């Protein structure tokens, strides 16, 4: 009976690997089919759903280990493994071993991942403003050295002034020049 289980297990592992390869191929095809010249669409291929955003949120909060992420997010193991694998493949997180026996890893933000901070802060502040209700924001972000609440805003270093989103336009960049 254990031989049957082993055969079944290896077929299951083989099938799982084939499905993972197929999913990666489908993701690559979607990436290639994206709108030319749209960095937002390309970025959304990486930061693709609520679980990924919540994993990134926890990473910024210093939660780095698989079991800690799973516990904090109450996320199914397979989904967490898939999202972590994708974030590592795309260079947003790096996987580092912190224990040999049993082998255990932690996931740390790369410089590429750290640059997602303004996106998460903006998303949080948008939710605070429009979705919090009368109670106000559930959490406040503060500048650690002075404890002042932070606010995401646009600032032009040339003009030395803040400006609104309505004052932003786009023009062709290197990819379209």
pLDDT in tens, 114-157: 999 999 999 999 999 999 999 999 999 999 999 999 988 899 99
Percent helix, strand, coil in the chain, to 5, is 55, 15, 30
Distance (Å, whole) CA 55 – CA 75: 10
* Residue 146 included in any domain: yes
Handedness of CA 141, 123, 175, 88 (dihedral sign): positive
* Residue 127 included in any domain: yes
DSSP classification of residue 107: E
Check residue 67 and give left, alpha or beta (phi > 0: left; psi -120 to 50: alpha). alpha
* Residue 159 included in any domain: yes
* Residue 107 included in any domain: no
Q: Mean pLDDT throughout 26-44? A: 72
Q: What's the confidence (pLDDT) of residue 149?
A: 93
* Residue 94 included in any domain: no
* Residue 145 included in any domain: yes
For the cut 90, the answer to whether the pLDDT of residue 52 exceeds it is yes
Number of domains in the chain: 1
* Residue 152 included in any domain: yes
Q: What's the confidence (pLDDT) of residue 35?
A: 66
pTM of the model: 0.75
* Residue 88 included in any domain: no
Q: What's the confidence (pLDDT) of residue 172?
A: 87
Residue with the larger pLDDT of the pair 25 and 52: 52
Please give the residue range of the domain that contains residue 149. 117-167
For the cut 80, the answer to whether the pLDDT of residue 19 exceeds it is no
Say if CB 87 and CB 114 are below 8 A apart.
no
Q: What's the confidence (pLDDT) of residue 51?
A: 98
């Amino acid at each position: 009976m254990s031989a049957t289980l082993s055969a079944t297990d290896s077929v299951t592992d083989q099938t799982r690997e084939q499905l993972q390869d197929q999913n990666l191929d489908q993701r690559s095809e979607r990436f290639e089919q994206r709108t030319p010249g749209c960095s937002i669409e390309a970025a959304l291929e990486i930061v693709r759903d609520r679980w990924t955003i919540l994993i990134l949120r926890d990473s910024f909060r210093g939660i780095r280990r698989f079991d800690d992420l799973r516990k904090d997010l109450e996320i199914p193991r397979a989904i967490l493994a898939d999202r972590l694998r994708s974030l590592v493949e795309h260079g947003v997180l790096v996987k580092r071993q912190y224990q040999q026996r049993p082998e255990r890893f932690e996931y740390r933000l790369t410089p590429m991942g750290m640059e997602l901070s303004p996106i998460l802060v903006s998303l949080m502040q948008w939710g605070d403003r429009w979705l919090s209700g009368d109670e106000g924001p559930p959490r406040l972000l503060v500048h650690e050295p002075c404890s002042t609440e932070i606010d995401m805003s646009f600032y032009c270093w040339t003009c030395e002034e803040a400006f609104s989103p309505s004052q932003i336009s786009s023009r062709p960049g290197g990819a379209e020049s």
